[in-house]
Structure 1
Amino acid sequence: MDDSDLSPFQDAEGRWHRWRAHIAASPSLNLTYRLAVGVIGVLVLAAGVVAIPYPGPGWLIVFAGLGILASEFAWAHRLLHYARKRYDAFMAWFLKQSLVVRGLSTLLTCAVVLTTLWLLGTFGLVGTWIGLDYSWLESPL
């Protein structure tokens, strides 16, 4: 099979492997690359963990951070597969629960979001934008 028979994805994967092999051939460049992947992966993972209780893609960001780390670190690859299995099992369990349990979970999530927004001073800031100047809107921190 020559290069013209490859799909665009196979061609891109081949280029990626050649580029990565070139980096791996130089120990200092390889260390720098792995450190950069580690730092970026940890930052994305941390942002995902912070975003989990909020509406939106918190878990997706966590899995993206683990995916970045898993591209270079075997432990992260194992953790990614373990976390995906646990997440899928939890979601299967959660979807089987009664409407009351799911509703209480939604209320708890809303309480966490509102509390953290209040603690971060978001309500006080937005309140001043629209002319609401109540002391209870201000963060106690």
Structure 2
Amino acid sequence: MNTGSDGSGEIAVATDGMDVGGAQAEQGLGSRAPEFVKARRVLHLSWQVGVFLIGLAVVGAGIVMLPLPGPGWVVIFGGMAIWATEFVWAQLVLRWTKRKVTEAAQRALDPRVRRRNLTLTAIGLVIVAVLGGIYLWKFGVVMPWKIKDQ
């Protein structure tokens, strides 16, 4: 059973999966292994080792993809999701990450922030265009490594 407060001083009580204060109650923390696995300690420990190794391989592949072409961050968070099926620390990290990404998305949709970002982008493009024009005026269409002292 979960309890929650909606900020008004009232406490809402709900069972897992039911509404608490207008939001879907989050699934409890802990292992999501099948019951027959949890019932046997050695089997559960080997299950956890297997989940950890698979998650580690996926996270490792994501880290390799960061400098190389590929969806590095997506793969890393996929590995974290694999770990979150078994480990509470990974579940907490994913909850924190989801909350921060949602907050950043809300900030990015703020009209003032969007105006500022568009203005800075326009200024940056003008600077790049001016520098490119100066380069073409001075050297023409020549690769930088072929420029002699002029």
What is the TM-score normalised by the length of structure 1? 0.48
Higher strand share: 2
Larger radius of gyration: 2
Higher helix share: 1
